[in-house]
């Protein structure tokens, strides 16, 4: 796990954005979202700018709170959050049937925590696809620290326009990433194109469930909080992901919302009523300390102006995620394995 501390958090806010421009970037990012008058059409049309601003602004907060892997996981009783995250990544590798020496693509790889874990677990070579320069530069540093720079690398590109030839990879996966795409079919079609025939694509998707009622104002509020706090142009229903997979040409091997059977609620680390030493920074007490630390760091000039605003919309996301999980209208653990049929090249 990453050892990012307070000064790492402060120096990282804004990513590749000039520190004097962080506040205006926060303004522009917020205005894409419903809480500030934005709409879905604008978010989808400008998703590259929106998502890049989001990850420049939040990556150091994520690393401070989550470590190197920015995702949730189904969790067993007696299992810590870091343990469940590693098991979650190993489970994905096993479902793909990864074999030593294979070439694997991680779509929307963040700073590469899952990429490094899966590469070491399966003895494969993993390429991380990411359109955010700051996350890539951070990931390369962590690759060198982990000693995996010979088998793990990053490519800067949009996952709606992948710079790879057809049939390039033995397997493709995405962990809570393709939900950032404005169009599921377009993203899945690109994945289909670069995957070798007969091979598999597996993903954990952030989705609204069938319990979501688009006419319910409370449901709408929860959805909007998750979108602003997690850089999403829209959140699709699970069945829309399935439809897009099939339309792209995939055969769906199996699919399931893994949140439904998780012995411990996936959102527990963010629940204000929960306390844990193993994930202290994510708890209400930990977030209180982080919020006040960021306030001080911004006041003394170590963190750029706007840092507190980033913390605020991340707090909104935490509230939306917990409520969405409790009401079972949202899941970050919709899992599927899909195969590209043999003989299909595009």
Catalytically active residues, by annotation: 176
* Nearest alpha-carbon partner for 175 in 116, 110, 223, 239: 110
CA 53 to chain centre: 14
List the helix and strand counts (H, then E) for the chain: 12, 7
Q: H/E/C letters for each residue in 190-247? A: HHHHHEEEEEEEEEEEEEECCCCCCCCHHHHHHHHHHHHHHCCCCCCEHHHHHHHHHH
95 contact partners, CB below 8 Å, separation of at least 6: 200, 202, 337
Unique residue bearing structure tokens 């008058």: 37
If you ran DSSP here, which 8-state letter would residue 341 be given?
P
Two structure tokens written together for 333: 């653990």
Q: Are 152 and 116 in contact (CB under 8 A)?
A: yes
């Amino acid at each position: 796990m990453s050892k990012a501390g307070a000064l790492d958090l402060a120096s990282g806010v804004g990513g590749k954005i000039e520190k004097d421009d962080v506040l205006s970037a926060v303004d522009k990012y917020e205005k894409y979202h419903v809480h500030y008058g934005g709409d879905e059409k604008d978010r989808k049309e400008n998703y590259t700018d929106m998502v890049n601003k989001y990850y420049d602004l939040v990556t150091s907060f994520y690393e401070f709170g989550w470590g190197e892997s920015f995702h949730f996981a189904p969790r067993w009783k007696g299992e810590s959050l870091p343990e469940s995250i590693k098991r979650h990544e190993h489970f994905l590798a096993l479902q793909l049937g990864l074999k030593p020496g294979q070439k694997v693509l991680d779509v929307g790889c963040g700073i590469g925590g899952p990429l490094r874990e899966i590469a070491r677990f399966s003895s494969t070579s993993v390429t991380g696809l990411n359109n955010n320069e700051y996350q890539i530069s951070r990931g390369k540093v962590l690759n060198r620290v982990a000693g995996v720079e010979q088998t793990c690398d990053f490519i800067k590109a949009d996952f709606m326009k992948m710079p790879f030839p057809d049939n390039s990879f033995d397997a493709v996966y995405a962990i809570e990433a393709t939900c950032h795409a404005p169009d599921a079919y377009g993203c899945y079609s690109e994945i289909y194109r670069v995957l070798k025939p007969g091979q598999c694509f597996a993903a954990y998707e952030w989705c609204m469930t069938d319990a979501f009622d688009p006419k319910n104002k409370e449901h709408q509020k929860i959805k909007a909080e998750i979108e602003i706090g997690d850089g999403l142009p829209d959140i699709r229903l699970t069945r829309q992901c399935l439809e897009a997979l099939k339309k792209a040409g995939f055969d769906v091997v199996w699919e399931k919302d893994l949140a439904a059977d998780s012995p411990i609620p996936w959102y527990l680390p963010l629940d204000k009523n929960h306390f844990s030493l193993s994930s202290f920074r994510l708890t209400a007490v930990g977030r209180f300390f982080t919020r006040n630390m960021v306030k001080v760091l911004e006041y003394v000039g170590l963190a750029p102006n706007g840092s507190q605003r980033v913390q605020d919309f991340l707090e909104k996301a935490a509230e939306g995620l917990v409520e969405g999980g409790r009401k079972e209208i949202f899941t970050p653990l919709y899992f599927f394995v899909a195969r590209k049929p043999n003989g299909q090249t595009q």
